[in-house]
Amino acid sequence: MPELVALPATASAEQAMEVLRRDGALILADLLTTPQVDALLAELMPYIQATPPGRDAFSGDKTTRTGALVARSPRVRPLVTDPRILKLCDHLLLPSAERYQLHLTQVIRIQPGQGAQPIHRDRWAWGTHLKGIEPQLNTIWALTDFTKANGATQVVPGSVDWPDNRRPETREITWAEMPRGSALVYTGSVFHGGGANVANTDRIGLNITYSLAWLRQEENQYLACPPEVARALDPALQRLIGYTMGSYALGYYTPPLAPGLGPEVVPPEYALSGDAESSRLGSAALLDSLVAAVRDQ
């Protein structure tokens, strides 16, 4: 049976990327302290306990999935912008886009009696249309210990280059066993799935995922975290959830006002500040980058 590489939280981005590009997944140990995990769970549990289970084999009839975490949980926000994870996003995603964005936030609780989830790729959120690029980076932060018995994520190391119709054999699958406070980091291309929980306790993981900024997000952040909530967030987090241009002319809008009562074309930041004078579509640097990329083709 293959094994996942576990690195300390202090590992460099270059060390982690070497493993991630080869295996498609790794564990970063001890990213959070026990008090930090306890505080996160205390803040999230009212939402988790109020969430009904899924209704099919994929979402799991004994699995709950709780979202809108940027709006609901102040303690989740620093994890979304954790510089150790964002450095990996820089390496993995910026070669294919001017920016990346938050793709989803979700607490996944696998309860006793839940069977194993079908093995899949997360990039199938966009079907099988994307070829030749990696569209996303995923994290699952362990808020409880992850064991094979309680449903630790199944992972197929080295499967990033497999054809979509390839199915793993049992000997090719391992489990992301890790103590609470650690995180499984994996690409959108690696085959994986939730494990079966044959224990008598819940397995709780915090799923935070990032994607190329020119792709549609799985969790619609503009509805999950609307402007009246987002305008109170740190500007870096505002940009990460999508309140900025994805490229020079990607993501602008026109406020639907009566004639002459508002600007005609503004970037998403206008929804937060209402300042049309300081708004512009994309920066000169983004335009220059786009022109240079086209010229170099």
Mutual angle of helices 83-93 and 13-23, in 10-degree steps: 50
pLDDT above 90 (res 16): yes
Asked if 127 and 230 touch (Cβ cutoff 8 Å), the reply is no
CB-based burial label for 49 (10 Å; 0-12, 13-18, 19+): exposed
More confident residue, 112 or 266: 112
pLDDT digits (tens, 9 = 90+) for 226-281: 999 999 999 999 999 999 999 888 999 999 999 988 888 899 999 998 876 655 66
pLDDT digits (tens, 9 = 90+) for 127-176: 999 999 999 999 999 999 999 999 999 999 999 999 999 999 999 999 99
Give the mean pLDDT of 177-201: 98
Domains of the chain: 6-221 (2.60.120.620), 245-297 (no CATH)
pLDDT band for position 14 (50/70/90)?
very high
Give the mean pLDDT of 69-82: 98
Asked if 265 and 250 touch (Cβ cutoff 8 Å), the reply is no
What average pLDDT does the structure give for the chain? 94
pLDDT digits (tens, 9 = 90+) for 210-222: 999 999 999 999 9
- pLDDT the model gives residue 57: 86
pLDDT band for position 289 (50/70/90)?
low
Element (H, E) at 183: strand 183-187
